[in-house]
Amino acid sequence: MALTGTKRAITIFGLIFTCLAFVCMIVCFTTPHWLERFPYKRNTKVFVRLGLWEACFNDWQYYKDYLGKRYNGCWWIFHFEYRPVWPWLNPPWLLAVQIMMTLALMLHMTTIVFNILYFVGCCPPHKEQSYVRASWIMNFLAGAFITISSIIFAIKADTDRQWLPNPDSNYLSWSFGFCVLSGFFSLFAAICLLADYMRFRFEDEKNSRGPAYAVKANPKF
């Protein structure tokens, strides 16, 4: 059942959606533009932007910091510079989002290898069905993690008044948009690969049943 000649359209679309999901994941995972402050409100002593792993401030001071430390520029969220405000800057819900997005990235890295091996015919023929099954399951799990993370982040960024100052002055930026696209592409890829997996199952069942009408030999002749 190896793919030969013209590749099946459903397999090609599955690979394309998987690659697009992976590229979008890399962009949203590495860029610090999930949440930004409107440019016309970026005066002094404000939050500027935030990503999964980086936060930027402009002469900002945490109101509960009695030492009066001011934060300027962009730093890794877990950097020593942000240690005094880390429990506030990285609340449990954001930590959960970071964990789920990391798991989604690992799933994408694995499934894209499986997809390429299957598409170019490098995997053993008797294991193709297993590769496709693993790929659609991992794509579905990645899409689920991304969807849950996007919903949590969008809701909390708008409703958590104890988090970043003046949430009404912030907006979800393009890195968050790539996160949403990655979720959509992951689910589309899962659907395509699930359809390909069902084709494998149908062919196996068809071969196991044998001929629909078996002709018995007539002993008289």
Residue 160, domain CATH: 1.20.140.150
Please report the pLDDT score of residue 12 as a whole number.
Answer: 86
Q: Count of domains in the chain? A: 1
| Residue ranges in the chain whose pLDDT is less than 70 | 1-7, 41-45, 66, 123-126, 200, 203-221
Residues 6+ apart with CB under 8 A from 35: 49, 50, 153, 157, 164, 170, 171, 172, 173, 176
**Given strand 70-76, what is the order of strands in its sheet?**
70-76, 54-61, 46-50, 35-37, 170-172
Q: Using CA atoms, how far apart are residues 59 and 8, in angstroms rounded to an integer?
A: 57
Q: Report strand pairing: 170-172 vs 54-61.
A: unpaired
Mean pLDDT, all residues of the chain: 83
- 162, part of any domain: yes
Host domain of residue 116: 11-36+87-202
Q: Is residue 19 part of a domain?
A: yes
Alpha-carbon gap, residue 19 to 12, rounded angstroms: 11
Q: What's the pLDDT score for residue 154?
A: 94
Spatial CA neighbour of 193 closest among 121, 117, 139, 120: 139
C-alpha span between 182 and 19 (Å, rounded):
10
pTM, to two decimals: 0.83
